[in-house]
Structure 1
Amino acid sequence: MKFGLMSANLMGNVEGTAAGELARAAEEVGFHSIWAVEHAVVPVEYASTYPYDEGGRLFKGASQLDHSDPLIWLAFAAAATSKIRLATGILILPQRNPLIAAKEIASLDRLSNGRLDLGIGVGWLREEFEALGVPFEARGARTDEYLRALRVLWSETEAEFHGEFVDFAPVYCQPKPTQESIPILVGGHSDRAARRAGELGDVFFPAERPVDTLASLHLAAKRYAEEAGRDPSSIELWTSSPGDNEHLEQLIEAGVTQVMVPARPAEQLEDRYSQLIADYGSEAPS
């Protein structure tokens, strides 16, 4: 099992010194990846239900946390490190212009020498979409089309795409990514997310869920991959965990190949996670 350090771009880590120290410490301890999350804005008042808490709300104070843009933060982390993978967890893809996103993402992959893992999701906070002037409805279909457009922009010299949400005549979009295919990590915990992972992704990344739920979601993603003519065994399952031994053992049995654990200050990473990583055989990138 590989380990990732999640939500690294929050609070004190928005400062350059702390961000660099955390990224270097994560690499030295043996983390496979470091993750940055996204909310462009959080409305002061919202009626949307937060899907990752029983109370349906962000935890107290979360709305006002310092929260760096994930791509910019990961570019800074890339400059401070040499081998740790850099992951968005997640980028709210339907909120972004796909042509600008393609350039930003490819630029980060080039700057990091091909270390980017692109985690994407459809978002849940209607009021955030409204503030940005982006339709909340059909965000799933929009995301699917954006993913297809990104692949075209990254792979074709004269890229052209004609769809419902994205429509452009041939363009040059440079630079191309270092990686032949940037890994797409699909966030979510619904059947629709499983379909998206199976049809368009490389990894299915549901947030922490009961182990049997994770296993059934993974099976669904692999079934959708097979129906789409893809190799179902290529779809990996990643998730998050508080990092206790019993839970990790259950995740391994369920087929999870990478687990994301909560970020800590740089000076605490070794004491909290080095033995855990050693015990569960994480592969740090070389």
Structure 2
Amino acid sequence: MSSSALPFRFGVNMLTHGTGEEWRARCRRAEELGYDVILVADHLGMPAPFPALVAAAAVTSRPRLGTFVLNAGFWNPALLAREVTTTQALTDGRLEVGIGTGYVREEHDTAGLDFLPPGRRVDHLERTVEELDRHLDGQAPPLLIGGNGDRVLRLAARRAGVAAFAGGRTEGGRVHVLSAEEMDERVAAYERFEAESGREAPAERNLLIQRVTVTDDRAAAVAEFLPVVPYLTEKQVLDLPLLAYGTAREIADQLRERRERYGFSYYTVLDNAMEEFGPVLAELRKD
């Protein structure tokens, strides 16, 4: 089966703190809306991923539970293996582990951790993936590896069940969004790496949608975003893979087209878009 033929999956990335009851209510609501995966990020100032996922498991029964994504720079592999093993047990085997290099220097400074150069951050990610598998003796939960650079994509092609693509890249401390054509190039590179890896089945491909706006007026939605990307035209903004603007049906059609073009079948939205994306999810469940 090619990646473009894989069925859709949808995750919601929970970034917002709250009381225990507020957290439990949001997780129950994610399940009611039909999300397949409840995810937690790994940033300072946001919920700690592993206890948050255990709490989510206690009030849901169907969704998978994942990290999106762990900052490898925060973790010693042996200690991470302990967290993964315990969380896998306490979630009744529903855990999925997502991991990347980490990219926010200020968080490392706050935590008193070295923020390594890009190449060394990838080195640490590779070692962490290898050591995690060794510590778990081949019993690791499904693995998602996130990133856009060649080395990270090669690692994902070799080791991950899910290759998660970012809709932007960091340049000089600023985020540059990837155009539709730039995403074509990154996906083509990944496909080469996957072919070189000799794996028998393709990985699932994930994309984080940064903004969801369900509207009859796509032009107005684009006008709000254009100041962020003044170097792009309105049409180029509408084509950006990380955005979803339009009616629920229009957005559903966009995601179908992106599955065909890029192979993205697993989409993640942020928790502030969880309700708004619900009608889109319902549209796509009709497939």
Per the normalisation by structure 1, the TM-score is 0.72
2:10 aligned residue: 3
Name which of 196, 206, 220 aligns with 1:238: 206
2:186 matched residue in structure 1:
217
Cα displacement string for residues 197-224 of structure 1 (whole angstroms, at most 9, x for unaligned residues): 1122221111234344334323323322
Secondary structure at the residue paired with 1:278?
helix
Alignment match of 1:28 (pick from 23, 32, 37): 32
How many angstroms apart in 1 are the aligned matches of 2:130 and 2:106? 26
Greater helix proportion: 2
Matches within 5 A, 1:1-286: 1-6=8-13, 8-11=14-17, 14-40=18-44, 66-137=45-116, 138-155=120-137, 180-208=139-167, 209-231=178-200, 233-241=201-209, 242=212, 243-244=244-245, 245=251, 246-253=253-260, 254-264=262-272, 269=275, 272-281=276-285
Structure 1 stretches of 5 or more lacking a match? 41-65, 157-179
One-letter amino acid matched to 2:91 = S
- TM-score, length-scaled by structure 2: 0.72
Q: Give the match's secondary structure for 2:279.
A: helix
Q: Percent identity?
A: 27
What corresponds to 1:172 in structure 2? Answer: none
Q: CA 1:148/1:20 → structure 2, altered by over 3 Å: closer, same or farther? A: same
Q: Answer whether contact 1:23 1:80 (CA < 8 A) is retained.
A: yes
- Please list every run of at least 4 consecutive aligned residues from structure 1 whose deviation after the TM superposition is greater than 6 angstroms: none
Q: Aligned equivalents of 1:251 and 1:78: distance in 2?
A: 31
Separation (CA, whole Å) in 2 of partners of 1:189 and 1:236: 15
Shift of 1:282: 8.0
For 2:183 and 2:91, the matched residues in 1 are separated by: 31
Unaligned runs of 5+ in 2: 1-7, 168-177, 213-243, 246-250
Question: In 2, Cα distance between the equivalents of 1:123 and 1:273?
Answer: 27
Secondary structure of 2:136 counterpart? helix
SS of residue matched to 1:258: strand
How far apart in 1 are the matches of 2:104 and 2:270?
A: 22
Counting matched residue pairs gives 227
Q: Which moved more, 1:141-150 or 1:272-281?
A: 272-281
